[in-house]
Amino acid sequence: MYKVIEEGKAKLKVPKESKISKELPVFYNPVMEFNRTSSVLLLKSIENNKMILGLPLGGSGVRAARFLKELPKSKIKELWINDINKEAVKIIKNNLKLNKVKAHVVNNDANMFILESKGFDYIDIDPFGSPNVFLDSAVKRLGRDGILAVTATDTGCLAGSFVNACKRKYWAVPQKNETMHENGLRILIRKVQLIGADHDKALTPIYSYFKDHYYRIFFRCKKGKKKVDKIIKKHGMFNDAGPLWLGQLWDKKVAARVAKLGNDKFLDIINRESKIPAVGFYNIPKLVKRYRLNFLKQDEIIKRIRKKGYKAEITHFAPNSLRSNIEEEKLIKMMKS
Ligand X SMILES: C[S@@+](CC[C@H](N)C(=O)[O-])C[C@H]1O[C@@H](n2cnc3c(N)ncnc32)[C@H](O)[C@@H]1O
Tell me how far, at minimum, the Cβ of 307 lies from ligand X, in Å: 45
Tell me how far, at minimum, the Cβ of 58 lies from ligand X, in Å: 6
Of the two residues 36 and 191, which places its CB atom closer to ligand X in the complex? 36
Residue with nearest beta carbon to ligand X = 59
Tell me how far, at minimum, the Cβ of 228 lies from ligand X, in Å: 28
Inter-residue contact 109 to 120 (CB < 8 Å):
no
Please report the DSSP string for 69-125 in residue order: HHS-GGGEEEEEEE-S-HHHHHHHHHHHHHTT---EEE-S-HHHHHHTSS-EEEEEE
Alpha-carbon distance values, 131 to 60, 111, 259, 318 (Å): 19, 11, 26, 24
Of the two residues 56 and 247, which places its CB atom closer to ligand X in the complex? 56
Tell me how far, at minimum, the Cβ of 17 lies from ligand X, in Å: 14
Q: Is 212 exposed, middle or buried (0-12, 13-18, 19+ CB in 10 A)?
A: exposed
Tell me how far, at minimum, the Cβ of 24 lies from ligand X, in Å: 9
Of the two residues 22 and 307, which places its CB atom closer to ligand X in the complex? 22
Tell me how far, at minimum, the Cβ of 100 lies from ligand X, in Å: 20
CA torsion angle 179 181 183 189 (round to 10):
-160
Of the two residues 32 and 302, which places its CB atom closer to ligand X in the complex? 32
Instruction: Kindly report the number of other CB atoms within 10 A of residue 247's CB atom.
Output: 18
Distance CA 293, CA 9 (A): 50
Buried (b) or exposed (e) across 144-172, using 16+ Cβ within 10 A? eebbbbbbbbbbbbbbbebeeebeebbeb
Distance CA 61, CA 90 (A): 10
Of the two residues 15 and 160, which places its CB atom closer to ligand X in the complex? 15
Of the two residues 128 and 295, which places its CB atom closer to ligand X in the complex? 128
Tell me how far, at minimum, the Cβ of 213 lies from ligand X, in Å: 12
Of the two residues 128 and 171, which places its CB atom closer to ligand X in the complex? 128
What would you measure as the largest C-alpha separation in the chain, in angstroms? 65
Region of 82 on the Ramachandran plot (φ > 0 left; ψ -120 to 50 alpha; else beta): beta
Of the two residues 59 and 262, which places its CB atom closer to ligand X in the complex? 59
Inter-residue contact 206 to 220 (CB < 8 Å):
yes
Tell me how far, at minimum, the Cβ of 27 lies from ligand X, in Å: 4
Tell me how far, at minimum, the Cβ of 154 lies from ligand X, in Å: 12
322 contacts: CB under 8 Å, gap ≥ 6: 281, 282, 284, 298, 301, 302, 305, 312, 313, 314, 315
Of the two residues 213 and 260, which places its CB atom closer to ligand X in the complex? 213
Q: Which residues bind ligand X (CB under 6 A)?
A: 27-28, 32, 36, 57-60, 62-63, 83-85, 88, 109-110, 126-128
